[in-house]
């Protein structure tokens, strides 16, 4: 019996019925063979090419976690990078808010978390363990004054970068952590913002664009300052040449 070759999901229905599947009685459908899956894919690809007039290109192979991030980025639900601003106390909130603002300048989302390495070591390990499971690229900024155990403890257990930015400036305890504690150290919140943007730029076009714009703006201001000084020098030289020299008595 000749049968019209349909380019629709009817092919799957027919294949299942030919395999003895009864939708009125059977609770689950049988599994299609590899040949049937290929045939079904071919028909849908053919439909795509007929409607769009374009050749179907198979997407490149990538890890599922990366594919999830890309899909969420396309949907506008994810940037492609996230910063955890971790502090041992909320007494340094102005410093934490400054960090959040500097990160926002580069379109990098962030969240402030309060967890003391001295008073809540178990809780800190749980928080780090949770972020270790994230499919989204993460960076943690440790903000602890006095004796900074937060950055060292976090960087020892984390599978993502940890940067110390203490609220009390040049805190040497951030630099003397034991072997295995790999935290970096940046004093100024503005520099933390740029560092995060550099880290996430390869994952997110929006962050990359803001980073490039920031760099070019700095260069433009330097060039303007240089041109302003050069212009003053030219004016001074021109004025000196146009002013007649006074003769001596």
Quick: pLDDT tens for 197-228: 999 998 888 899 999 999 999 999 999 999 99
In this prediction, residues 56-70 reach a mean pLDDT of 77
Q: Which of 89-93, 181-185, 234-238 has the least mean pLDDT?
A: 234-238
Q: Is pLDDT of 64 > 80?
A: no
Q: What span, in angstroms and rounded, lies between the C-alpha atoms of 178 and 158?
A: 15
- Residue pair 163/136 in contact (Cβ under 8 Å)? The answer is no
pTM: 0.67
| Beta bridge partner(s), residue 82 | 138
Q: What span, in angstroms and rounded, lies between the C-alpha atoms of 6 and 15?
A: 12
Cα radius of gyration (the chain): 31
- Residue pair 141/85 in contact (Cβ under 8 Å)? The answer is yes
Residue 59: per-residue pLDDT = 76
Residue 2: per-residue pLDDT = 46
Q: What span, in angstroms and rounded, lies between the C-alpha atoms of 234 and 229?
A: 9
Helices 150-157 and 121-132: crossing angle in degrees, nearest 10, is: 40
Q: Model confidence at 43, in pLDDT bands (50, 70, 90)?
A: confident
Q: What span, in angstroms and rounded, lies between the C-alpha atoms of 112 and 200?
A: 18
Sign of CA dihedral 96, 134, 164, 181: positive
Give kind and range of the element (H or E) at residue 156: helix 150-157
- Residue pair 99/192 in contact (Cβ under 8 Å)? The answer is yes
Other C-beta atoms closer than 10 Å to the C-beta of 197 total 24
Residues 83, 88, 94, 95, Cα dihedral to 10°: -60
Residue 249: per-residue pLDDT = 52
Q: What span, in angstroms and rounded, lies between the C-alpha atoms of 59 and 203?
A: 18
């Amino acid at each position: 019996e000749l049968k019209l070759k349909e380019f629709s999901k009817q092919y799957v229905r027919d294949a299942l019925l030919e395999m003895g599947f009864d939708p009125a009685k059977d609770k689950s459908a049988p599994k299609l063979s590899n040949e049937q899956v290929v045939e079904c894919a071919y028909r849908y690809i053919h439909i795509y090419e007929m409607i769009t007039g374009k050749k179907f290109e198979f997407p490149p192979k990538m890890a599922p976690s990366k594919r999830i991030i890309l899909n969420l980025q396309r949907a506008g639900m994810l940037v492609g990078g996230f910063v955890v601003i971790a502090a041992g106390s909320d007494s340094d909130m102005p410093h934490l808010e400054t960090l959040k603002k500097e990160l926002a300048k580069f379109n990098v989302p962030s969240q402030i978390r309060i967890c003391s390495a001295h008073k809540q070591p178990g809780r800190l390990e749980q928080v780090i363990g949770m972020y270790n499971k994230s499919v989204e690229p993460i960076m943690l900024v440790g903000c602890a004054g006095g004796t900074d155990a937060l950055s060292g403890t976090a960087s020892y257990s984390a599978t993502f970068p940890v940067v110390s930015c203490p609220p009390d400036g040049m805190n040497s305890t951030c630099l003397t952590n034991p072997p295995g504690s790999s935290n970096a150290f940046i004093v100024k919140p503005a520099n933390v913002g740029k560092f995060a943007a550099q880290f996430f730029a390869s994952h997110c076009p929006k962050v990359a664009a803001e980073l490039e714009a920031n760099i070019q703006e700095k260069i433009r201001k330097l060039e303007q300052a240089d041109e302003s000084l050069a212009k003053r020098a030219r004016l001074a030289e021109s004025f000196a040449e146009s002013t007649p020299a006074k003769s001596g008595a």
